[in-house]
Structure formats: C-alpha cells, structure tokens
Amino acid sequence: MYRCIESSHLYPQKIAVVDRGESVTYQQLANESARLASHLLDTSDDLQEARIAFMVPPGKHYVASLWAIWRAGGVAVPLCLTYPLPSLQYVIEDTGARSILITRAFEPLLGEYCAHQGIRLLILEDLSEQDSVMLPDISSQRRALILYTSGTTSKPKGVVTTHANITAQVTTLIDAWGWNASDATLCVLPLHHVHGIINVVSCSLFAGATCYFTESFSAEEVFQWLTSNKLSVFMAVPTIYYKLITYWETLSDLEKKVAHEKMMAFRLMVCGSAALPVTVMEKWQTISGLLLLERYGMTEIGMAISNPYHGERRAGYVGVPLAGVDVKLVDEQGTPVAEGEPGEILIKGPNVFLEYWQNPQATTESFREVGWFCTGDVAVVENGYYRIMGRMSMDIIKSGGYKISALEIEEVLRTHPAVDDCAVIGMPDEEWGELIVAALVLKETSFDTHTLQPWLREKMAAYKTPRKYLVLPELPRNAMGKVVKSSLKQLFA
C-alpha cells in the first residue's frame, strides 16, 4: 500500500492522473486521500479492517477513495457502477460494510437503503475540509481488498487480498512488463475487477507513471487515444480489441496508415481476462504493428503466467510463470501430469489471496493441497509455454471418452468467414456423456449452419465437432467480456 505513498514522495509534482482533462499530481492525490481518510476515521484512530464499500467512477476520486480506505486501516470494497440495488445489497451485506463512500450521482440509488440499514453514507462532494489527523501504521499482512468473483456458476464469493498480496502482484508485473515513471496508460476497464485495479491503475501509480481516464467507453474515442502519441502502455480484454478492430474497418486507407504509424510508438499492449482468439491477435498486429502480450490471471492470484515482454510471444499461449510464482498441473487425483498432458493449474506464491470472505469451506476446498491454490482452470505445457484449455466446469467437455477443449473448437469456428463470434459448451447426453454444441453470432443471417460440419471435419477430428448450433444476435457476457456459459446452457436447454 505504501508504494502509492512512496510515489507521491518520489514524484510529488509529476502528473499521476488525468481525469477527463484535469491533471492531478501525486502530491495532490496523497493530500486528498489523507483528507478522505480523516473523514473515514471520524473519531477512531484506526479502522481495524472495517469494510468500506465505495461507489465512485474511475478517475481521481476513485484513486483517492481507494488510497484513503487503505490509509485509514480499512478494507476496500469497490462496488460495480452498473449493478442494480439487489446486487449491491448482496456485496454490502456479505462484507458487513457499515460505511459507504459515493459520489452524489449514486445517492438516489443508495440513499434510502443506507438510511434504512443504518449505514453511514459519505458523499464525496459534501465532505468538508478536514484538519489532518495522524494516520495509523498499517501492517502488510492486513486485509486490504475484497473483490467479488463473477459468480457464473454459483453465488459470488468475496476474494480477500492483503497489502502484501497486492504489493507482490503489482511489483511482479512492474518488473516483468518494464513499467517505469515515463509510462502513460489509459484505463478502459471496470474498477471492481483485478484487471483494472491491479494491472492498470496500481501498476501505473506504483511505478510513478500517468494514468488517463475517460468518461465512458467509446471505440472511436479510445482509438483516438491510441493514436494521440500520449500513451505507451494499453491493456484491455478481447471484447474491447474486437470493438476497436470493428471501428478501424470504418476508416479510410489513409486514416488506417496514419493510425498504424502512430500505434507503432507504443511500448506494450496487453490482453487478458478472457481467452484471446488467435484471429483477433493476428488482426490487431496487422492494425497496430504490435503483437499483443497475453497473460493468465484471476481475482484470487492477480497475474501468474505471462508471455515475455522481451522474448517470444506465442499466439494461443499465455506464456511462462512470472518470477516468484510457482505453477504445476495436476490430474483429478492431484498427481502432477507429464509435459503435453492437460491438468488443473495450481498456483503458489506471495500473490495468492488470503481467503474467501467468511467462507471457510470454499477456502479449504480451493486449497485442498496445502499452500497451493487450485484454480479450476485446465492447461497444457507445450515446449515450455502454457496453453489454457478452459475451465474444468465449463470449457472442458467430456464426450465419448475424450476430454475436449471448448476453446480449441471456438478458435477454429472463428476462422470461418460467416462466423462473427461463437461459444462452445457441453450439454448432458445419455450416449456421449456430454454433447458438443455451439452458439454462433453470424455475419450473414441467411447462412446455413449445416454446411459447417464438412468444413470443420477438414480442420479437426470428427469427435470434436459440434452436433448442434444455436444462432444468437450476441453472446451473453459479464462485465469483463467473458461469455457466461451457464446462460448458454439454459438457452440450449
């Protein structure tokens, strides 16, 4: 946590955040976070890990609020800006948050609820100037953050990370990806997920770099940022790159040429949070001249595996373990598998979270081998690089005695000229165990899906080809762009 404050000492007058055109220095951020921390403390000396929820748009106020909660000794609980009240209630009540920090725009949503529940509601715009108070000394082993998993297969669980976990996650990426104080990045990711909080905002501000924020996502506006010569690092999810590619295709040949030349100045572009289709990776390289760096991580571990910043980046692979992170693949009995054989990913290291909030059973199940977090993701190591095959529960289909990767089939389907997007799942079947089925988003509404079978059988084994298709206008996705396959199962059913 104090790496943020160290940055304000090292670069006091340097621009830390540019929020919708307003520049804020590191010293100004530190001062504002100290002021907010004083309000949070009120009459206490230390929040002692009290959970403080906050619902603040990305920008200077978000960063100051996050730092303030940490500096006051609280545990930060970022709330999703687009959640309806029942979803917010679940997070607030599960964490037992008794104070919520918001901007005035969210008062109509939360005001009556907080009054009824006796929850202290602090509205940023209404907080007066406050005399500075002595802030507590915070141990690195204290709880710092609770983020909720997407909950695609069960109720969301609160993932608790300590200050030490966050420091390990951030400093590892700063070293691995070459972050430095001369960098500048643009945050286009939601800030109730690890990708935006750790990889973008925390890495940039721990390193003394500048983080830009925009009002809301617009492919046209983001493309203008990418060609502005202001940024050196950009991070996004596959869905965002897909939207940027779609916008690029509307440009003239001259505009495409100019955009390509300007994006060549970038130092690094990263993609993660969902599987990156090879077709998208290759198309983006054509557009920008840059080969996206794909990596693997999740809420519970931050980042664990990454293609190298210096060295070969392999399309379709997430790379090699990051420094200080131990990774192994095991079979269903917990026995390590041979290279080339698929196995569940187990992770060990200082980056790994502390616990699921007030859920000891889930915590114990996830650490069924002491010291190792069982991710539930399946991968295979090929020539030293990890390739993700999918989630054990959804992306690994057991059909006719085979273990089949849904992601592998999706990669092939996306190369068909009529297929815009797709998702493959397994449906219960008496004969096959699971029947392979695919949901398609088509470029041509009149396309006959029956013609896919002979085409697919030229590209993969017959047992891997889908037996049924469902055409949809779009795939159901969560806030990070991941396809919600449990929703697809309901549609097929």
Q: Which of 175, 173, 201, 165 is nearest to 186 (CA)?
A: 201
Residue among 103, 14, 90 nearest 55 (CA): 103
Last residue of a domain, one of 138, 169, 201: 138
Provide the residue type at 137 as one letter: D
**Using 50, 70 and 90 to split pLDDT, how confident is the model at 150?**
low
Could you tell me if residue 248 is inside a domain?
Answer: no
Mean pLDDT of 399-405: 77
What is the rounded CA–CA span in Å between residue 327 and residue 339? 13
pLDDT average, residue stretch 13-35: 96
Amino acid identity at 423:
A
**Is 119 within a domain?**
yes
Residue 480, pLDDT > 80, answer no
Q: How confident is the model at residue 365 (pLDDT cuts 50, 70, 90)?
A: very high
For the entire predicted model, the pTM comes to: 0.86
Q: What is the CATH number of the domain that holds 127?
A: 3.40.50.980
The whole-number pLDDT of residue 2 equals 58
Res 152 pLDDT > 60: no
For 163-167, 246-250, 402-406, 454-458, which range has the lowest pLDDT when averaged over its residues? 402-406
- Do the Cβ atoms of 122 and 100 come closer than 8 Å? yes
CA nearest to 47, candidates 68, 78, 71, 72: 72
154 has a pLDDT exceeding 70: no
Q: Is residue 64 part of a domain?
A: yes
Residue 330 neighbours by CB under 8 Å, 6+ apart: 336, 337, 343, 344, 346, 369
Q: Are strands 15-19 and 22-25 parallel, antiparallel or unpaired?
A: antiparallel
pLDDT one-digit tens code per residue, 263-318: 999 999 999 987 788 888 999 999 999 999 999 999 999 999 999 999 999 999 99
| pLDDT surpasses 60 at 153 | no
Cβ-contact 152, 484 below 8 angstroms: yes
Domain presence at residue 207:
no
Positions of E strands within 214-325: 233-236, 268-271, 293-298, 302-306, 320-321
Domain-located, residue 7: yes
pLDDT band per the 50, 70, 90 thresholds, residue 3: low
Range of the domain at 49: 2-138
* Domain count across the chain: 2
Q: How far apart are CA 270 and CA 10, in angstroms?
A: 27
What mean pLDDT is predicted for residues 210-229?
Answer: 94
Cβ contacts of 178 within 8 Å, gap of 6 or more: 267, 268, 309
Q: What was the pLDDT predicted at 398?
A: 80
Please give the Cα distance from 200 to 195 (Å, whole number). Answer: 7
Residue 9, SS3? helix
pLDDT given for residue 238 in this prediction: 86
Structural domain contains residue 82 = yes
- Residues 6 or more apart whose CB falls under 8 angstroms from that of 68 comprise 32, 33, 34, 35, 36, 37, 39, 40, 101
Instruction: Kindly state the average pLDDT of the residues 33-43.
Output: 95
**Average confidence (pLDDT) over 62-86:** 95
Tokens of 231: 């940024």
From 103, 138, 173, give the residue that closes a domain: 138
Does 114 reside within a domain?
yes
Question: What does pLDDT average to over the chain?
Answer: 92
Q: What is the CATH number of the domain that holds 473?
A: 3.30.300.30
Check pLDDT > 80 for residue 54: yes
pLDDT at 151 over 60: no
β-pairing verdict for 184-187 and 402-405: unpaired
| The pairing of beta strand 15-19 with beta strand 210-213 | parallel
Which of the listed residues 84, 108, 138 is the one where a domain comes to its end? 138
How does pLDDT run across 308-323, given as a tens digit for each residue? Answer: 999 999 999 999 999 9
Q: Is the pLDDT of residue 373 over 80?
A: yes
In a domain, 168, yes or no: no
